[in-house]
Amino acid sequence: MADLQRQLTETPAAVVIANHCFGLFELAALHLSLKPPKLSEAQLAIDALAALVEGLGDRLGEHEAQLAEALSQLRLAFVQIRASNLGAGDGG
């Protein structure tokens, strides 16, 4: 446990936060890929990712551009999937 704590404190916070952001991206993508998609669950993960990416901006350092692009891709996918599921229910 002490080694893990040491590793964590030696890792820049931006890297740790970016890793969490990638986890949120994967969570949203997973819910969008279900048949039927769980739109409300995906939306929560997308909103959480947006809060971090848009709230922290350039403080994310070298990861900012990649995370902003990932967020844009998720938002576009969400809109497209929601549109194709209109009338089929939310699924979540």
- Rounded CA-CA distance 60/37 in Å is 30
pLDDT over threshold 70, residue 88: no
pLDDT over threshold 90, residue 83: yes
Q: What is the pLDDT of residue 36?
A: 96
- Is the overall model pTM greater than 0.95, yes or no? no
- Rounded CA-CA distance 18/50 in Å is 12
- Rounded CA-CA distance 56/68 in Å is 11
Question: What element of type H or E holds 42?
Answer: helix 39-56
pLDDT over threshold 80, residue 13: yes
- Give the mean pLDDT of the chain: 94
